[in-house]
Amino acid sequence: MSRLTAEQQVLKEGYVRARGYWRPWTEGLLRLDPEFLEAYGKYAGYSAETGPLSAKMRELIYVALDGSATHLFRSGLALHLDLVLQEGASAREIIDVFRLATAQGLDGCNVGIGILAEELASAGLEVDHRGLTREQSALRDAYVAQFGDWPDFCEQWLQRDPGYFAVLLGLLAGGQAGDGLDPRSQCLISIALNACFTALNPLGLRVQIKRALRLGIDQREILQVLQMTAHLGVHACAIGVPVLMEALDMRAAKAGAGAQSQEPGEGGGRE
């Protein structure tokens, strides 16, 4: 591979300063489309340069997005785990991130329980629910005390399957004490998981934004999280550019081999 020109070297150094990393795909873009690499660096670096979130918080969010079962981008996860550890995150905080990403699996359940209730009613199969039992009331009170709200899907699960709601609450309520993530950090990460295009969940996103405002989280922090979720789109380049570089190298190698095989042998030149 040819050495970088002076202009390419300046662009590379600027990208590393802005984004904190250099990967095979950025090397490929530098050589194939430096203008796009420069534009992406400015685009992705904007939120970090202008937003209020700390470097540690930003990296925790990237860990959540890359580790989410809706994305599972291992190389990005490894990169951002290294960066967040450099920023001082503890193993317990990172496990809390994975816990929140695990709870993302509930999104389909929570959307589906509402649709089920609507369709049962439309089909005339819905029955009036009785008042809550003492156990159900205790579960509701525990949820409200923990999260400060009572979404419709919670009411539906509590009414239709209180046993499931009890274990659901146990899953959601974990990681609140000790040296793990504080409620504000958990809320920001949950906003990212619900807002990301890989698993966009408007229902959950609204719940989390409401919680964020109740927690006193500034709207600029929420805006920065929303901006960061869009950055996952570049993983098309992160995967695609190295594959393209390999294909180009193989094509060039085959062309070179073909040219050599067509060269006239000793004494076999044309007259």
Region 233-250: what's the mean pLDDT?
96
The continuous run of DSSP H or E covering 263 comes out as none
Domain assignments of the chain as residue spans, ordered by start: 1-50, 51-240
Region 54-72: what's the mean pLDDT?
97
The continuous run of DSSP H or E covering 5 comes out as none
pLDDT at 76: 95
CATH architecture of 51-240: Up-down Bundle (1.20)
Higher pLDDT, 175 or 18: 18
**C-alpha dist (Å) from residue 251 to 217, 221, 240:** 53, 47, 16
Q: Which amino acid is at 105?
A: G
pLDDT at 18: 85
Can you read off the two tokens belonging to residue 35? 């203008």
Maximum CA extent, the chain: 103
Residue 271 has pLDDT above 90, yes or no: no
CB 59 within 8 A of CB 134: no
pLDDT tens profile 42-61: 999 999 889 999 999 999 99
pLDDT at 108: 95
CA distance 121 to 113: 12
Confirm whether pTM is higher than 0.95.
no
pLDDT at 139: 97
CA distance 168 to 151: 14
pLDDT at 264: 63
CA distance 158 to 165: 6
260 Cβ contact list (under 8 Å, min separation 6): none
| Chain mean pLDDT for the chain | 92
pLDDT tens profile 186-198: 999 999 999 999 9
